[in-house]
Amino acid sequence: MADVTVLVEARLRSALGEPDARAAVTFLGTERVEVLRFSDGDLVRYATLGMSAQPMNDPVAAVTDPVRGPRAELVLTVRAGLADTDKVLRPLAVLAASPQVEGVVVAPGNSMDVGEPLWPGAPFSAVLVAENGGLVEDLDIDEPMDPVRFLPLLPMTANEAAWKRVHGASALQERWLAQGTDLRDPRRAPARLD
């Protein structure tokens, strides 16, 4: 069976270029998670590496399958030079480790909260998991393993996260779109939710 992490890193490099920085975090009882940084002009992209090494399993399942189950990595894109976004490395690693630590299955439409600003001075502590298949294509790996999906993360303020819980992810994304919200701006103002 192929080493999933090696294949994932190759896919990230083919889609985003060479990373210009990387950091690794290991949490007690979990696999190592790395976060790679890719600079692309006025954008910086952060991608997790290692989350997909193990499949995500339903936390209420009586037995977990060590081979089958959804696999994913997380990708965050922000405008460069507007904030100290490199401090997002640890929060991203925490989010990537959550399937192993908390037994959650990360999927589009989920919200995830780290309980502290994503980077110093950030108005966001939560992210909305967006649909895969855009920036980095899904990666098919050896059967019977599920493909690895690369899930974009959209930073949310506390009010946006609360509103999303009531109205749903699609409604929040429609608000952002209608208001022309720049979701890549690390200092953006919250959307109007009235």
pLDDT in tens, the chain (194 residues): 458 999 999 999 999 999 999 998 887 777 789 999 999 889 999 999 999 999 998 766 666 777 888 999 999 999 999 999 999 999 999 999 999 888 889 999 999 999 999 999 999 999 999 999 889 999 999 889 999 999 999 999 999 999 999 999 999 999 999 999 999 999 999 999 88
**Strand 126-129 with 148-156, pairing:** antiparallel
Q: Is 31 exposed, middle or buried (0-12, 13-18, 19+ CB in 10 A)?
A: middle
Which pLDDT value is given to residue 1? 42
Which pLDDT value is given to residue 55? 92
Domain boundaries, given as residue ranges, for the chain:
4-178
Give the Cα separation of 8 and 191 in Å (integer). 34
Nearest in space to 95 (alpha carbons), one of 79, 72, 78, 77: 72
- 3-class secondary structure per residue, 69-135: CCEEEEEEEEECCCCCHHHHHHHHHHHHHHHHHHCCCCCCCCEEECCCCCCCCCCCCEEEECCCCCC
The pTM for the full model equals 0.94
